[in-house]
Amino acid sequence: MLKQIVLCALLAFSLTACNIVYKQDIQQGNVLDDDDVSRLEIGMTKRQVQVLLGSPSVRSPFHEDRWDYVNTYAPRGTNTVKRVLTLRFESDRLADLEGSFLDQDSVAAEALRDLQSRDDQPIQDLESLRREQ
């Protein structure tokens, strides 16, 4: 009886040590399109930037002229990749931009491009299917 309990415990511990549990990719924060980021131009108004990229993740009340767009991406069970795009404004106009969102070779950027480049056919609505028959 004791042998069976020890064997079951040993088996349970060895299975938990293995990484056999499915882990999905986790992407959080602002998911910015590379094309949208490339369309940013010095001199754009805050409103134009917000229409193009959406609301920033971080808008500090102490730094009204700084917006941060943050994205984290954790591929299955590996280290998390963090991408940041920092925009600085002067007189409500974009004056400077910097950050790792501008790096086109990051893992998160590659995964996002893969998601965006899928050529899935859209699902047709019932009316268009009836017209085809």
Which domain CATH number covers 95? Answer: 3.30.1450.10
Tens-binned pLDDT, residue by residue, of the chain (133 aa): 778 887 777 777 666 656 566 667 778 888 887 778 888 888 999 999 999 999 998 887 888 899 999 888 887 767 888 888 889 999 999 998 888 776 655 555 565 555 544 455 544 555 665 666 5
What is the pTM for the complete model shown? 0.60
Instruction: Measure the CA–CA gap between 83 and 51, rounded to whole angstroms.
Output: 20
Residues in Cβ contact with 72 at an 8 Å cutoff, skipping those fewer than 6 apart: 26, 27, 28, 29, 80, 81, 82, 83, 108
Does the residue 81 lie in any domain?
A: yes
Domains in the chain: how many in total?
1
Does the residue 32 lie in any domain?
A: yes
- For residue 109, the enclosing domain spans 23-118
Does the residue 18 lie in any domain?
A: no
Q: What is the pLDDT of residue 113?
A: 56
Does the residue 47 lie in any domain?
A: yes
